[in-house]
Amino acid sequence: MTSNFIDYVKINLKSGNGGRGFTHFRREKFVDKGGPDGGDGGRGGHIILRGNKQLWTLIHLKYQKHIKADHGESGGKSRSTGKQGKDIYIDVPLGTIAKSPETNEKLAEIIDDGQEVILLPGGMGGLGNYHFKTSTNQAAEYSQPGISGQEAWVILELKLLADIGLVGFPNAGKSTLLSTISAARPEIGDYPFTTLVPNLGVVQYHDFKSFVVADIPGIIEGASEGKGLGLRFLRHIERNSNLLFLIDSSSEKPLNEYKTLVNELEKFNPELLDKGRIIAFSKMDLINNTTRKKIEKKIPQGLPYVFFSSKTNEGIAELKDLIWNSLNENS
């Protein structure tokens, strides 16, 4: 099945050339030799990146490999300025970064709805011959050509904006949890890597409050080096305010899984460990109190945790409370 979620595109952009300045001399009845009155050329069209909160993927740009703005028009007589080239707006989801493929330099970052950033400015229009009239040259014939627009390949990369990022091994129950606490309906299966793309869900809390949760495809040992689904989706975790480590409480060594996940995140970007953390132990309906107490003894001191079951809904309310409190403590 082809996914509609696209978080990376590379496109060629070209802003418009500035219009040529005009060479013209004033012609009026009873004026034998009017002075120069050629107007300026119009500015070339800009290429503008614009935030759109209605978008969540870059799929609309997947097949647009070349985007060009219009050229400015030439100036005219009577010092009239040429028409500006039409600006081209590229609407992108919030969390989109524009980068240079050659240097990896960040060119722009879109985080607000309606935010606009000129990626490639259009060329300036050339000056008409009116500007070159002097006391010694009353019949200037020179006018400027317009300045050429800019052309560049640009990478657009989406990093999802969410309050909480679900981090866990494949098949840990992340998608099941997301579908339990929100209206999101990710694909759920009893096999690893069911989730192949990130999913977002809005969780309703008390008194009309809410927060956004991102279900990130499962991480395995070596993900920071490209194993499994690798680096592609790890970058989405960078934009999450807090991280919820989802651990299968029925696994053989639950805390070892937590340590592996932390290690992979640290290798990818050490700053990820500065985010607020919660451990949520799923599938509590499959363990007894003795197993639970053994797990609790090994949890790092001071780290918030909760046991829950998406099947029975036990612990779900406590999990929501823990997330909400974590968001407010780290805001």
At 24-79, the pLDDT tens digits run: 988 777 666 678 989 999 999 999 999 998 887 888 898 889 999 999 999 999 89
φ and ψ at residue 278, rounded to 5 degrees: -135, 140
Q: What is the CA radius of gyration of the chain?
A: 29
Cα-to-chain-centroid distance, residue 115: 12
Cα gap 167→173, rounded to integer Å: 10
Burial 116-133 (b: 16+ CB within 10 A, else e): ebebbbbbbbbbbbbbbe
How high is the pLDDT of residue 89? 97
3-state percent breakdown (helix, strand, coil) of the chain, nearest 5: 25, 25, 50
**What are the DSSP calls for 144-170, one per residue?**
PPPPP--EEEEEEEE---EEEEEEE-T
SS3 state at 325:
helix
Give the length of the chain. 331
Query: Model-level pTM greater than 0.85?
Result: no
pLDDT for residue 183: 64
pLDDT at position 2 is 41
Strand order in the sheet with 106-110: 66-68, 8-14, 151-158, 96-99, 106-110
Return d(Cα 173, Cα 188) in angstroms, integer: 9
Going residue by residue through the chain, which has 331 residues, state the pLDDT in tens, using 9 for 90 and above.
345 567 789 999 999 999 999 999 887 776 666 789 899 999 999 999 999 988 878 888 988 899 999 999 999 998 999 999 999 999 998 889 999 999 989 999 999 999 999 999 999 999 999 899 887 787 788 999 999 999 999 999 887 767 888 888 877 777 788 888 876 554 433 333 334 466 777 788 887 788 888 877 666 555 445 444 445 566 667 777 889 999 999 988 999 999 988 988 888 888 888 888 999 999 999 999 999 999 999 999 999 999 999 889 999 999 999 989 888 876 5
**Residue 33 identity (one-letter amino acid):** K
CB atoms < 10 A from the CB of 40, how many? 28
The tokens 């409050």 sit on which residue? Answer: 209
Q: What is the pLDDT of residue 234?
A: 67
CATH 3.40.50.300 fits 162-329, yes or no: yes
Locate the domains of the chain by residue range. Answer: 1-158, 162-329
Give φ, ψ of 255 to 5 degrees.
Answer: -70, -25
Mean pLDDT across the chain = 84
CATH T-level topology, domain 1-158: Spo0b-associated Gtp-binding Protein; Chain: A, (2.70.210)
Q: How many whole angstroms separate alpha carbon 223 and alpha carbon 267?
A: 9
